């Protein structure tokens, strides 16, 4: 909790870099060479202006930074924007696009935020666009400007074009990187799973499985997982148990970033003060009830783990568990699909 207050989730930038698992340049690289300017400490010292909390939370992990920009190239008049930042935004609009200076990151984040766009989806779309441009799948006729890793002006123009639907390319890209690749090619440049962009916290199989199965991806990992090669059945069971816990915490308004603080024993004691007498075991059963409701909705909305496809790009860069194996990932998806349908027919036991 003190770590989240002082440095925020951006602290994971250095941690992932130390594992050679911080994606950069649309996940072509596993290290971000511009990291020294983007560490949580550096951003805090040079840009942090305040910390905010969600309603009822005492931590203040929402870090707000300032971006000072000039009106015109020869003006001495400035305007200052205040923008929240965290690991996900710095990864998606900084590391993933190869931007080298915080000012470039702030300029792009201000543009993306001003349009109300999701930074992760925007970063994935711009990453695909950059490689598609470099490989000649699209040209300046479609983009209206050169696009290259580290070239913020090209990205600023691309975001305007995407929102304005200026060309057929941008109208397709507005639906996401996967949709654009289906039309223009370059599926190998996509860093989305089930049309969901990764958060950059590539902790291992759990991170990509979460995307594939409609679970929330990690937003803050402390401490980072060990470089163990998990047994598939155990990995799937652990992931389901974690998601069940998320369902319970979400229903109680508890933050997932500090879920380890709110164990079942603590939650049981807290609810008792409000007149709800639920033992830790009863809470665990409730959590799985909520999980089954969620999965039932996912299935009715069309989720089919058997039809998930994962870009090969994501198996060619290291994670906190090293390089992942496609066959092992496919095995885990199959295990989940069987457990999911088996649960609906036969019920699940709770330990």
CATH architecture entry for 203-346: Orthogonal Bundle (1.10)
Residue 342, number of CB atoms within 10 A of its CB? 11
Q: Are 137 and 185 in contact (CB under 8 A)?
A: yes
Look at residue 225 in the predicted model and tell me its pLDDT. 65
Q: Are 284 and 290 in contact (CB under 8 A)?
A: no
pLDDT per 10-residue tile (average), the chain, 351 residues? 90 90 92 95 95 87 91 80 95 97 96 97 98 97 97 98 96 96 95 90 88 82 70 90 92 85 93 96 96 89 80 85 89 84 38 28
CA distance 25 to 199: 14
Q: Could you tell me which residues come within 8 angstroms of residue 227 by beta carbon, excluding any fewer than 6 positions away?
A: 19, 320, 321, 322
What fold, for 2-196?
1.10.569
Residues comprising the chain, all counted: 351
Look at residue 277 in the predicted model and tell me its pLDDT. 95
Look at residue 192 in the predicted model and tell me its pLDDT. 92
The answer to whether domain 2-196 and domain 203-346 are alike in fold is no
Instruction: Tell me the DSSP string of 218-247.
Output: PS--SSPPPS----HHHHHHHHHHHHHHHH
The 3-class SS string of 77-129 reads CEEEEEEEECHHHHHHHCHHHCCCCHHHHHHHHHHHHHCCCCHHHHHHHHHHH
CA distance 173 to 158: 10
Residues pairing with 149 in the sheet: none
Look at residue 44 in the predicted model and tell me its pLDDT. 94
Q: Are 22 and 76 in contact (CB under 8 A)?
A: no
Q: Are 123 and 192 in contact (CB under 8 A)?
A: no
Domain boundaries, the chain: 2-196, 203-346
């Amino acid at each position: 909790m003190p770590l989240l207050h002082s440095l925020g989730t951006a602290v994971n930038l250095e941690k992932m870099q130390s594992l050679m698992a911080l994606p950069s340049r649309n996940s072509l690289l596993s290290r971000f060479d511009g990291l020294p300017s983007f560490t949580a400490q550096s951003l805090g010292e040079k840009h942090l202006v305040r910390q905010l909390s969600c309603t009822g939370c005492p931590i203040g992990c929402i870090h707000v930074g300032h971006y000072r920009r000039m009106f015109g190239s020869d003006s001495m008049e400035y305007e200052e924007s205040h923008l929240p930042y965290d690991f996900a935004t710095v990864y998606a609009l900084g590391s993933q696009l190869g931007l080298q200076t915080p000012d470039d990151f702030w300029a792009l984040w201000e543009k993306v935020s001003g349009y109300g766009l999701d930074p992760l989806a925007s970063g994935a779309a711009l990453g695909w666009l950059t490689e598609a441009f470099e490989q000649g799948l699209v040209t300046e006729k479609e983009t209206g400007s050169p696009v290259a890793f580290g070239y913020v002006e090209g990205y600023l123009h691309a975001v305007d074009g995407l929102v304005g639907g200026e060309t057929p390319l941008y109208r397709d890209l507005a639906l996401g990187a996967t949709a654009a690749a289906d039309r223009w090619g370059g599926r190998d440049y996509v860093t989305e799973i089930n049309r969901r962009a990764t958060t950059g916290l590539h902790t291992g199989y759990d991170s990509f499985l979460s995307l594939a199965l409609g679970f929330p991806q990690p937003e803050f990992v402390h401490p980072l997982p060990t470089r163990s090669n998990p047994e598939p059945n155990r990995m799937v069971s652990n992931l389901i148990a974690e998601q069940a816990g998320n369902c319970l915490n979400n229903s109680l308004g508890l933050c997932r970033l500090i879920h380890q603080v709110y164990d079942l024993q603590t939650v049981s004691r807290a609810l008792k003060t409000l007149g709800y007498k639920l033992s830790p075991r009863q809470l665990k059963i409730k959590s799985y009830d909520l999980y089954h409701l969620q999965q039932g909705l996912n299935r009715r909305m069309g989720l089919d783990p058997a039809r998930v496809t994962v870009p090969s790009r994501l198996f060619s860069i290291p994670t906190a568990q090293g390089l992942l194996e496609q066959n092992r990932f496919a095995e885990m998806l199959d295990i989940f699909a069987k457990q999911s349908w088996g649960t609906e027919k036969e019920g699940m036991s709770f330990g």
